[in-house]
């Protein structure tokens, strides 16, 4: 090449990496070699390759040849002078030259610095030992592959993207791999704690051992690396130690040339350094305070830099929201933008399904998406990223956004959550009553229905468990344009008053009979209906435990008869087994009563008790009598009251048990049995965080730990599974009992009738419950005292009463009188 | 003197106010429920809800209605008709109160009516 004769400007590129070559490619597209002749210096002996794919080479998914971006022929074809294995050691801006290690010196008209970054080396002894390497270039990968052939144990230091990919690659190569990470959770810059933990769990299952919160103190060994010593005393043996704790921009060359540097080489939006003839791109640059480790923004830089070189002064670089993904086969991770709400004005929406290994979190700020963390299913990642970049107002999609694009975009902008127009008429809405969309829509249209209660009355949709209420309200909005949520929810059609208004008046105006309540609120029907009567009966019983007499005729049949009615009109009988404990004598009694009364089915329940099914109504007192003789009482399995206290065996028997969970469960059950509550209540006590008693889906759960007892509230294992909210950790059983009593009483006094603790807490917020129970010790003690007071009148075994003759008319048919 | 089809089923007080009891006799194979309202009126119906044959005698009595415990249909005690929007009827049986005792009119007993 005749340099003197060539009239073109000379572009010299320092760095034969991805950023520099991408810029050259972009420039060739724009310029086609007319304006510039190009010389590239590379420190590595290779042609340009895709560094991102090194982890795939390590894992054996790709060969080195597969990741080459530009072959030597490409350089030749494009008339690019390539100098490999010869690093530039000096830039002389005064006379416009660069000089390489071998002494090769060239003049430049334009200079592009693309020196990239290098691995951060921690300040610890042992870094120089054979068997220690970084994970940065092909030489590192060669070292790791060589070690994998003859050695067994590898330790990777660093639980970020690169470290995890290195660990997975070495695992694929047959090594046993441990990973040491300084922080408590993996990839903490890209993932929140929940997603980081799911990732750790999945990789742990795939055989990688994790040492989190692990600060490396020293790499030990004499001839070669033998292990990693952690500051807390843990020692991890290793034949190969891979450092992957981060990267640092290579700025030394630019700094020596007195270009402005900070963390990286400082560039402006046009990718120029402080010298307008010198450009810089890639991991070595710092733009507006940011440095870059991901490929997407670097591609943008390359494009802008090439356009500027080609003379387009308008081309400017701007940082965009970035997304990260992890290249481990079968582990799907996506992260972009904010990991969590920055303050109270931000909203987080989370979807988590542990058994399917799915997690999605989106962060909203001022109606716009500002962050997304996806684990397990990352298919919508790019869509979220686009919404973030477009700064699109997503308020209208808010309720559906977390479920992904397919679901969110079919709603045609309606906030109801489901596309009712597109829904087929035979889609079942109410599973309990078998009502489909078409039936509901025609009822609304034909009968001109305008309220939820009318739709319920005409179709029965949402009239049973209520799970589909939201959908029925949505159909009402769809078919009649009625916003059901805006309509005041009254107790029932007998009154315009709400549950809260009625409860408040009962206490404030000292109303002590159903008639006085109905009179005060001008009830439409003098005796009320099947909805308000049980509610009023409960509210009065709760407010005036020592004065109000329970009205059996206002109770649903199960609570009136103290047994569960079955579909064939027979009943089931479940005696209490305190904390799930029983005795040979009790089991004998159950066996003999089942034989004596020909009870067809005997079943162990999910609540650790025994259910006798198929008992004839007139046999109930006889069955109870036999059970009572053996000391057994009603298990209230039919009641809106305390059902079971499920326990594990705890410290008495279990080698993991930290406290006497069974004993505590018995104490809780003894304290709380017999109480009436707005809806059924289930407790559980687990003796250790393994949580065998499933305390995290109970109304009140206790998880014993070495330091005491974690109290959890508001869980539900039914149709709408809700995990408990943590309430408080206490040190003693006495405190557990006080909190439990206070929790029962605040739920009794403030929830609506037929409202479980889960929807109640979802309605009032766990912070409110904490304020009343945790922050207000005096209030808590008062609630507990009111609970114990009401228990004095409630803890009477209803079975014994009935064996003694109470309510006898319930259990015998009306006889024919003797003639005469 | 009433015919043999009129059965004395005892004093009104045997039935709780706003309550019901099932009879020991059936009517042509069907169970019979006898209701007493808050006002003291007494009614008798075949003890099967027109919807899914739920036991009306176990329901909550309010005014002159009873609510079936299975699916909350509301049935009028006087005529056995379901309250709109539900549609259906439970058969009513004739009653007389004589000296505080309830007499119910049952058709000729068939095999199995004696519970």
Query: CB distance B10–A815 less than 8 Å?
Result: yes
What are the structural domains of chain A?
9-117+249-309 (3.50.50.60), 132-245 (3.50.50.60), 332-411 (3.30.390.30), 428-486 (1.10.10.1100), 499-555 (no CATH), 559-638 (3.90.480.10), 642-798 (3.30.413.10)
Among A130-139, A459-468, A638-647, A789-798, the range scoring the smallest mean pLDDT is: A459-468
Nearest by CB: B67 against A457, A530, A555: A530
- Cβ proximity of A179 and A170 under 8 Å: no
Partner B contacted by A176 (CB < 8 A) = no
Number of Cβ pairs closer than 8 Å across A and B? 85
**pLDDT digits 0-9 by tens, A532-578:** 999 999 999 999 999 999 999 999 999 999 999 887 788 999 999 99
Residue with tokens 């982890």: A55
What percentage of chain A has pLDDT greater than the value 90? 58
pLDDT digits 0-9 by tens, A211-269? 999 999 999 999 899 999 999 999 999 999 999 988 899 999 999 999 999 999 999 99
For residue A533, the distance in angstroms to the closest alpha carbon of chain B comes to 9
Out of B19, B24, B60, closest to residue A813 by CB: B24
Does any CB of chain B come closer than 8 Å to the CB of residue A526? Answer: yes
Q: B59 and A809: CB-CB below 8 Å?
A: no
Chain A residues within 8 A of B103 when measuring between CB atoms: none
Q: Which of A584, A625, A621, A582 is nearest to A604 (CA)?
A: A582
- Chain A residue with CA closest to B87: the answer is A458
Those residues with Cβ within 8 angstroms of residue B84's Cβ, 6 or more apart along the chain or in another chain: none
Q: C-alpha A300: how far from its chain's center?
A: 33
pLDDT grade for A418, boundaries at 50, 70 and 90: low
Q: Which domains does chain B have, with CATH numbers?
A: 6-105 (2.102.10.10)
Residue A275 in tokens: 């010298």
The tokens for A372 are 């997304």
Structure confidence by residue, pLDDT tens digits, A293-334: 877 788 889 999 999 999 998 999 988 777 777 767 678 888
Kindly state whether A565 is in contact with chain B, defined as any CB-CB distance less than 8 angstroms: yes
| Chain B residues near residue A560 by CB distance under 8 angstroms | 58
Contact A741, A788 (CB under 8 A): yes
Partner residue facing B101 (CB), from A534, A560, A817: A817
Asked if A616 is an interface residue toward chain B (Cβ–Cβ < 8 A), one would say: no
Q: CA A726 to CA A250: how far, in whole Å?
A: 48
Q: Which of residues A381 and A733 earns the better pLDDT score?
A: A733
The Cα of B29 is separated from the nearest Cα of chain A by a number of Å equal to: 16
Tell me the pLDDT band of A412, cut-offs 50, 70 and 90. very low
Q: Which residue has the tokens 């045609």?
A: A412
Say if the ipTM goes beyond 0.85.
Answer: yes
Residues in chain A: 820
Determine the distance in angstroms separating the CA of B103 from the nearest CA of chain A, rounded to an integer.
9
* Helix, strand, coil shares, percent, chain A, to 5: 35, 20, 40
Which residues in B lie closer than 8 A to residue A529 (C-beta atoms)?
A: 60, 62, 67, 74
Q: Which two tokens stand for residue A190?
A: 């890209």
Q: Do B14 and A569 touch (CB under 8 A)?
A: no
Contact A526 B101 (CB under 8 A): no
| Phi, psi angles (nearest 5°) of residue A763 | -80, -45
A446 at interface of B, judged by CB pairs closer than 8 A: no
Picking from B62, B71, B101, the nearest residue to A527 by CB comes out as: B62
Neighbours of A525 (CB within 10 A): 15
Smallest CA–CA distance, residue A477 to chain B, in Å, is 21
- Interface contact flag, B15 A809, Cβ < 8 Å: yes
Beta-carbon separation of B15 and A815 below 8 A: no
Portion of chain A with pLDDT greater than 70, in percent: 96
pLDDT grade for A58, boundaries at 50, 70 and 90: confident
* pLDDT of A343: 85
Q: How far is CA A720 from CA A13, A359, A399, A723, A763, in A?
A: 61, 18, 17, 10, 15
Across the range A491-507, mean pLDDT stands at 92
Contact B71 A433 (CB under 8 A): yes
A598 has a pLDDT exceeding 90: yes
Distance CA B101, CA A813 (A): 16
What is the least distance, in Å, from the CA of B5 to any CA of chain A? 12
> Which residues in B lie closer than 8 A to residue A556 (C-beta atoms)?
60, 69
For residue range B13-48, list pLDDT tens digits in order: 999 999 999 998 888 888 999 999 999 999 999 999
pLDDT of A380 reads: 79
Q: Do B8 and A457 count as a contact with CB atoms less than 8 A apart?
A: no
User: Is A24 a residue whose pLDDT tops 80?
Assistant: yes
Is A277's pLDDT higher than 80?
yes
Q: Band of the pLDDT at A1, cuts 50, 70, 90?
A: very low
Q: Where in A446-593 does DSSP place strands (E)?
A: 564-565, 571-573
Q: Is A203 helix (H, G, I), strand (E, B) or coil?
A: helix
Interface test with A, best of B1, B47, B58 (most A CBs within 10 A): B58
Q: Is A808 on the interface with B (CB under 8 A)?
A: no
Interface test with A, best of B62, B72, B83 (most A CBs within 10 A): B62
Residue whose structure tokens are 């060994």: A221
A549 touches chain B (CB under 8 A): no
Encode pLDDT of B63-107 as tens digits: 999 999 888 899 999 999 998 778 899 999 999 998 889 999 887
| A554 in reach of chain B (CB within 8 A) | yes
Residue A796's pLDDT band (cuts 50, 70, 90): very high
- Residues of chain B in Cβ contact (below 8 Å) with chain A: 7-10, 14-19, 21-25, 34, 38, 55, 58-63, 67, 69, 71-72, 74, 85-86, 101, 115
**Residue that wins the pLDDT comparison between B27 and A592:** A592
pLDDT band at A2 (very low <50, low <70, confident <90, very high): very low
* pLDDT > 90? residue A763: no
The mean per-residue pLDDT over the stretch A476-498 comes to: 78
Residue keyed to tokens 């044959």: B53
Q: Distance from B18 to chain A by nearest Cα, in Å? A: 6
* Of the partner residues A528, A565, A816, the one whose CB lies closest to the CB of residue B25: A816
* Comparison of pLDDT for A475 and A481, the residue scoring more: A475
Higher pLDDT, A541 or A71: A541
Q: Which residues are registered as beta bridge partners of A430?
A: A435
What local confidence, expressed as pLDDT, does residue B115 receive? 56
The torsion angles phi and psi of B81, rounded to 5 degrees, stand at -80, 140
Tell me how close the Cα of B94 comes to any Cα of chain A, in angstroms: 16
- Which of A525, A569, A816 comes nearest B8 by C-beta? A816
CB A631 within 8 A of CB A797: no
Q: According to the model, what pLDDT value does residue A264 have?
A: 95
CA distances from A3 to A9, A76, A452, A732, B89 (A): 10, 16, 86, 87, 107
| CB nearest A809 (choices: B16, B23, B63) | B16
A294 CB near a chain B CB, below 8 Å? no
Q: Which residue of A has its CA nearest to B115?
A: A813
Rounded distance between C-alpha atoms, residue A440 and residue A456, angstroms: 9
- Which pLDDT value is given to residue B74? 94
The model's confidence at residue A731, banded by pLDDT at 50, 70 and 90, is very high
A313 touches B at CB < 8 Å: no
Which residue of A lies nearest to B68 if distances are taken between CA atoms? A530
Most confident residue range from A3-17, A446-460, A528-542: A528-542
Q: Quick: pLDDT tens for A380-403.
A: 787 888 888 888 888 888 888 888
In chain B, what residues touch A528 (CB-CB under 8 Å)? 62
Interface test with A, best of B60, B66, B105 (most A CBs within 10 A): B60
Residue A442 has pLDDT above 70, yes or no: yes
Do A569 and B74 lie within an 8 Å CB cutoff? no
Chain B residue at shortest CA distance from A820? B8
What are the tens digits of pLDDT across the range A152-188? 999 999 999 889 989 988 998 889 999 999 999 999 9
pLDDT tens digits, residue range A316-326?
998 877 777 77
Q: Which residue has the higher pLDDT, A476 or A1?
A: A476
Residue among A534, A560, A814 minimizing CB distance to B34? A814
Show residues of chain A in contact with B55, CB under 8 Å: 565, 569
Nearest to A529 among B9, B19, B62 (CB): B62
Number of CB atoms found within 10 A of residue B45's CB: 28
């Amino acid at each position: 090449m005749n340099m003197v004769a060539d009239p073109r400007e000379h572009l010299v590129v320092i760095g034969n990496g991805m950023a520099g070559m991408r810029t050259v490619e972009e420039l060739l597209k724009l310029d086609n070699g007319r304006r510039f002749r190009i010389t590239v210096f590379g420190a590595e002996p290779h042609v340009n390759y895709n560094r991102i794919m090194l982890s795939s080479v390590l894992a054996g998914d790709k060969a080195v040849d597969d990741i080459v971006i530009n072959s030597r022929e490409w350089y030749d074809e494009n008339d690019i002078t390539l100098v490999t294995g010869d690093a530039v050691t000096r830039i002389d801006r005064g006379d416009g030259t660069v000089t390489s290690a071998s002494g090769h010196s060239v003049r430049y008209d334009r200079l592009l610095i693309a020196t990239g970054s290098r691995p951060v080396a921690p300040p610890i002894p042992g870094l120089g030992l054979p068997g220690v390497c970084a994970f940065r270039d092909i030489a590192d990968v060669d070292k790791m592959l060589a070690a994998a052939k003859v050695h067994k144990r590898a330790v990777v230091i660093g639980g970020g993207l690169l470290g995890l990919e290195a660990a997975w690659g070495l695992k694929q190569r047959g090594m046993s791999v441990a990973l040491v990470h300084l922080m408590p959770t993996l990839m903490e810059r890209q993932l929140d704690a929940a997603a980081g933990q799911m990732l750790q769990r999945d990789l742990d299952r795939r055989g990688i051992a994790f040492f989190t919160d692990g600060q490396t103190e020293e790499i030990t060994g004499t001839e070669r690396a033998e292990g990693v010593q952690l500051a807390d005393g843990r020692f991890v043996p290793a034949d190969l130690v891979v450092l992957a704790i981060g990267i640092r921009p290579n700025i030394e060359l630019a700094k020596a040339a007195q270009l402005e540097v900070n963390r990286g080489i400082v560039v402006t939006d046009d990718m120029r350094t402080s010298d307008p003839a010198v450009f810089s791109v890639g991991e070595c640059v710092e733009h507006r305070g940011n440095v870059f480790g991901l490929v997407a923004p670097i591609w943008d830089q390359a494009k802008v830099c090439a356009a500027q070189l080609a003379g387009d002064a308008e081309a400017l670089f701007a940082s965009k929201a970035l997304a990260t993904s992890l290249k481990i086969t079968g582990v799907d991770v996506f992260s972009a933008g904010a990991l969590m709400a920055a303050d109270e004005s931000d909203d987080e929406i989370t979807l988590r399904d542990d058994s399917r290994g799915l997690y999605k979190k989106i962060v909203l700020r001022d109606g716009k998406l500002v962050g997304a963390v996806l684990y397990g299913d990352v298919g919508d990642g790019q869509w979220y990223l686009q919404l973030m970049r477009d700064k699109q107002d997503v308020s209208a999609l808010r309720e559906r956004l977390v479920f992904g694009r397919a679901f969110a975009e079919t709603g045609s902008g309606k906030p109801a959550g489901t596309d009712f127009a597109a829904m087929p008429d035979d889609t079942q809405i109410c599973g309990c009553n078998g009502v489909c969309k078409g039936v509901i829509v025609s009822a609304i249209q034909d009968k001109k229905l305008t309220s939820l209660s009318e739709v319920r009355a005409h179709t029965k949709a949402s009239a049973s468990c209520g799970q589909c209420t939201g959908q029925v309200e949505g159909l009402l909005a769809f078919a009649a344009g009625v916003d059901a949520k805006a309509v005041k929810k009254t107790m029932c059609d007998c009154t315009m008053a709400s549950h809260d208004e009625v409860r408040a008046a009962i206490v404030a105006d000292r109303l002590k009979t159903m008639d006085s309540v109905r009179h005060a609120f001008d009830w439409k029907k003098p005796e009320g209906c099947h909805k308000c009567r049980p509610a009023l009966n409960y509210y009065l019983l709760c407010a005036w435990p020592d004065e109000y007499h329970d009205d059996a005729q206002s109770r649903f049949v199960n609570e009136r008869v103290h047994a569960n009615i079955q579909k064939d009109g027979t009943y089931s009988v479940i005696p209490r087994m305190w904390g799930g404990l029983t005795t040979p004598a009790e089991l004998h009694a159950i066996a003999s009563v089942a034989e004596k009364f020909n009870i067809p089915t005997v079943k162990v329940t999910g609540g650790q008790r025994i259910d006798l099914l198929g008992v004839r109504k007139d046999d109930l007192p006889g069955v109870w009598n036999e059970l009572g003789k053996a000391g057994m009482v009603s298990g209230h399995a039919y009641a809106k009251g305390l059902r079971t206290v499920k326990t594990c065996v705890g410290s008495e028997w279990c080698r993991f048990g930290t406290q006497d969970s069974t004993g505590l469960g018995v104490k809780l059950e003894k304290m709380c049995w017999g109480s009436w509550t707005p809806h059924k209540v289930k407790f559980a006590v687990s003796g250790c965080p393994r949580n065998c008693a499933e305390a995290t889906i109970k109304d009140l759960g206790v998880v014993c730990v070495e330091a005491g007892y974690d109290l959890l509230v508001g869980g539900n294992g039914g149709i709408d599974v809700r995990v408990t909210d943590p309430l408080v950790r206490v040190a003693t059983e006495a405190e557990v009992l006080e909190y439990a009593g206070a929790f029962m009483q605040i739920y009794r006094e403030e929830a609506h009738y037929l409202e479980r603790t889960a929807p109640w807490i979802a309605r009032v917020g766990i912070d409110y419950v904490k304020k009343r129970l945790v922050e207000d010790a005096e209030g808590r003690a008062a609630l507990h005292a009111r609970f114990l007071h009401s228990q004095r009148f409630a803890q009477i075994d209803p079975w014994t009463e009935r064996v003694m003759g109470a309510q006898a008319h319930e259990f015998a048919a009306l006889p024919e009188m003797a003639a005469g | 003197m009433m015919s043999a089809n009129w059965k004395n089923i005892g004093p009104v007080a045997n039935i709780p106010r706003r309550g019901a009891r099932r009879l020991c006799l059936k009517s042509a194979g069907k169970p019979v429920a006898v209701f007493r309202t808050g006002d003291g009126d007494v009614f008798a119906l075949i003890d099967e809800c027109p919807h899914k044959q739920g036991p009306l005698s176990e329901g909550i009595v309010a005014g002159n209605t009873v609510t079936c415990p299975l699916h909350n249909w509301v049935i009028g005690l006087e005529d056995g008709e379901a309250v709109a929007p539900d549609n259906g009827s439970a058969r009513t049986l004739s009653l007389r109160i004589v000296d505080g005792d309830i007499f119910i009119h049952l058709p000729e007993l068939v095999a199995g009516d004696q519970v």
